[in-house]
Each structure stands twice: as C-alpha cells, then as structure tokens.
Amino acid sequence: MLFTSDFLYDLFPDATKQRDFEIAQVNTDSRKEAPDSLFVPIRGERFDAHAFIEQAITQGAVASLWDKSVPVPEAAAAIVLFLVDDTLEALQQLAKAHRVAVAPIVVGITGSNGKTTTKDLVTSVLKEKYEVLATKGNLNNHIGLPLTVLSMQPSCEVLVLEMGMSNFGEIELLSHIAQPDYAIITNIGESHIEFLGSREGIAKAKSEITAGLAADGILIIDGDEALLSDHHGKETTITCGFEAQNKERLHVEQTLDAATVFSVNGEKYTFSLLGAHNVRNAGYAIVLGKQLGVSRDHIQHALHAPSMTGMRMEMLAGLNGSKIINDAYNASPTSMNAAIRTVQELPFARRILVLGDIYEIGSESKRYHREIANAISTDTSYVFTVGEDAVEITDALKDEPITAIHFHDKDSLTEALVPLLQEDTIVLLKASRGLKMESILDTIAVMEEN
C-alpha cells in the first residue's frame, strides 16, 4: 500500500463521493493492468486520457484524479473522482506530498552526460546499506519523476532521482517536487544547446537543481568545470574531479581490458567500467556513499559489479573474438569525445570507431561534428560514420593516415564492418538515440551465434 483514501481526501477535498480504500499504485496508462490504483488522466495537445476512464476502471482503478472542466461519464460513477483544476499539476502535488510523508533521503542527479550512469552507480553503492528506489528508464521529466516518487513504498530509505530537461525552468520544477537532500551535477556539455543558447545557459539550467535543495543539503559537482565555479567555495559544495583544486581528487591509476583502477584522494578502487568520464561518475557515487556512511569495502563491492542500464560503455563479445563497446544510447560532443578517448587508451591492435549523428546541438551542428575529428588519434584504424552531419567527421580526417568512410545507411556500414571483426579488434558504437546505432549489433549477434 502506498497510501489510504484519507491521504487523498486531505489533498483533494473536492471529491464525487466518500469511500474508504487503499492505493497500491499510481497509473497514467489505462492499457496497463493496475489493481487498486489511482488513475491520473493526463491531457496533451493531441490526446486526453479522460476518455479512457472506463478502461482504467476495468484494469483496476479504484479512484481517479479528474479535471473539473471535463464532463463526468456514467462509467466513472463506479469510483471516486478527485476533482482538480489540472491533473498534471495534481500529480506533481501528490508526488511532493508522498515524498514528505515517506521522508526518505533524496538524491537528485542532473547533468548533460552521465546522469544515468551516475544514478546506477549511486544506487549500487547505497544499496549496500539502504533500501533504495531509483529512476527507471527515462522517467526523468515532469511526468516521469512524479511517477517515480509515487512508486515509493513507505519502507524506502533512499530515493535516487534522475532529472532531465530541455529548457529553462524544468529542473527547478523537478527539484521543488523532489526536495533533494543531496544533488549531483555530473557535467556541462552541449546537449539541448539549441534550446538553451550556450554552455553557460546549460550550466544555469542544470544549476536549477539547487532550487529545492534542503537548506543544509549537499551539492556535489564536477569541480573541473569552470562554468560551475559559482558553486565553489561553499561549505555545502563538494567539488570532485581530476584537477588539484578539488576537495575530492580523482586519478586514473590503470586502464585494463574491462576495468579501471582509480583513486579518490589516494584511496584506490577498481570498477568494471571504462573511461575517465566514468571514473568521474564513480567518484560522485563514492563521495555520496561516504557522506551516507557506506564503508570503503562496501563501496568497492558495489563498484565491482554494479547494476547498469544498457548501452552505456557496455563491453560485448564481437565476431571472431573482437570486442565491441556499445555506447549507443545517446550522444553529445562531450560524451562522444570521452568515448573515443577511452577506446584509444585500450590495448587493442585495431581500433574501429562507428559514429553517427549527434542531435539537438543547434545551428553549429556541422562544426561540432567536424571538431570530433580532433579527438581521433592516428593509431585509430578505421572511422565509419553514418547520418547527415556525421560526414563532417570523415571529411575532416581525409588527410590523416586513417581509413575514414561515410555511409548513407547502417546496412552498408555493417556490411563493411563485419569482415574487419577479428581478435585484438575493438569497435566503438556511438550516436544519438534517434539513430538507433545498436541495431548493428543484431547482425553481429546472429553471425556470432552461427
């Protein structure tokens, strides 16, 4: 049980009837079986879920929020309707009240890149000591975050919330709903720059996470990022990074085939992810874990085999003994450069970069793509690109001793890639979500099974 009918009547006193009941889950999808649920019909520009109340009741709804301006159909008379001015705002209000009632330690995580990886690492570390609920999938916006909060059982001790955005004001709203005790800004990149105008604008938008931060709350930031310098020097800010001025200084000690050895203020850890950018993400998890009393041994245990969301620097077996890093969930110039640097540090004789378009970087997209070539060293064997602007990468490499080829579709790229897969070869797949670069793996996986 999440809460009783009394909890709802206190929040939303304008109801169609009085009835005692318990709510086991909150649901916005009338197609989903949801026994003892509160249905929340969301209205959009092209849809209105109020029309599906009968289906929601069939699927188990015992009550529903209801927009006062929408006529009540006869079918809805079977359950309690809580009449509100706006069902989305009411959903957010309910989430905020539930967060206060359960009173967990709340961790909010935002940043241009690494949000999900950091969320996964933080969750793995804190699960060593606490009962933890964390954001699942991409439920990190103005609807998804409240639904995550409202999936929290009363026994939850720590709530880890990823916060995404594409414009100003969005993180501020999420922060006020979540009221974090700890906030992490992973980095400042270029994602959504077409909406926010500049990296300075992105830094301002990400810093909105402090809007709902507890008065004595702790902010953990990328201390190497100059655009976050406004937060430096504060007693409640912990800077984490590779440069000497950070309170928590990171250092990569050794890069192995499938692991990284690194230190935080001289204390060594080993974990199963690759790349300096992931060392930074792990650093945030270690700092937070220590803040919350997780021992060094338990932190190391969590980092040895953390539970990670797929397609983030995911090492896979390839055809003929090759290795493939699937980092195809999404991309920005910052994350693509980081992934390329990671591959170039690995001890493989042949390195192949398979790169696709980076979306949502505005009018300067061609320049950003062209600058990716600056990160590619001459010991890279092949660079294959696909998409519209990714051709700028291969064009920029035409005078380098690298085989760089642009393809018009993934099928032709895959056909050229397969014969190159052999032992001592590492392949990186990296592109924005819309390109679905991971579909290349389907062909490789079939061939591998044969």
Are 290 and 438 contained in the same domain?
no
Q: What is the mean pLDDT of residues 176-203?
A: 93
Sheet-wide strand order for 61-67: 25-27, 37-39, 61-67, 80-84
**Per-residue pLDDT reduced to its tens digit, 299-314:** 999 999 898 888 888 8
Are 57 and 142 contained in the same domain?
no
**Per-residue pLDDT reduced to its tens digit, 365-408:** 999 999 999 999 999 999 999 999 999 999 999 999 999 999 99
Domain membership flag for residue 146 = yes
| 425 labelled ligand-binding | no
**Domains in the chain, number:** 3
Residue 446 is predicted with a pLDDT of 39
* Tally of CB atoms within 10 A around 418: 15
Q: What is the mean pLDDT of residues 204-230?
A: 97
C-alpha dist (Å) from residue 131 to 125, 157, 159: 11, 5, 9
- Kindly indicate the confidence band of residue 411, based on its pLDDT and cuts at 50, 70 and 90: very high
Domain membership flag for residue 90 = no
Last residue of a domain, one of 304, 326, 355: 304
Are 115 and 56 contained in the same domain?
no
Q: What is the mean pLDDT of residues 111-130?
A: 96
| 28 labelled ligand-binding | no
pLDDT at 90 over 90: yes
Q: Supply 262's token pair.
A: 């690194």
- Kindly indicate the confidence band of residue 289, based on its pLDDT and cuts at 50, 70 and 90: very high
Are 247 and 114 contained in the same domain?
yes
Contact present, 104 and 158 (Cβ < 8 Å): yes
CA atoms within 13 A on the CB side of 405: 14
Instruction: Enter the pTM of the model.
Output: 0.88
| 117 labelled ligand-binding | yes
Tell me the C-alpha distance between 398 and 413, whole Å.
18
| 114 labelled ligand-binding | yes
CATH number at residue 410: 3.90.190.20
| 450 labelled ligand-binding | no
Residue 447 is predicted with a pLDDT of 42
Are 391 and 268 contained in the same domain?
no
pLDDT at 448 over 70: no
Are 150 and 269 contained in the same domain?
yes
* Tally of CB atoms within 10 A around 267: 12
Residue 392 is predicted with a pLDDT of 98
CATH number at residue 41: 3.40.1390.10
CATH number at residue 188: 3.40.1190.10
- Kindly indicate the confidence band of residue 450, based on its pLDDT and cuts at 50, 70 and 90: very low
Last residue of a domain, one of 245, 280, 304: 304
Are 325 and 422 contained in the same domain?
yes
Tell me the C-alpha distance between 115 and 191, whole Å.
12
Are 319 and 211 contained in the same domain?
no
Q: What is the mean pLDDT of residues 10-34?
A: 97
**Per-residue pLDDT reduced to its tens digit, 311-340:** 888 899 999 999 999 999 999 999 999 999
C-alpha dist (Å) from residue 5 to 18, 88, 150, 311: 9, 19, 15, 41
Last residue of a domain, one of 85, 114, 138: 85
* Tally of CB atoms within 10 A around 399: 7
**Per-residue pLDDT reduced to its tens digit, 348-363:** 999 999 999 999 899 9
Residue 311 is predicted with a pLDDT of 84
Contact present, 258 and 315 (Cβ < 8 Å): yes
**Structural domain span for residue 342:** 314-449
Domain membership flag for residue 296 = yes
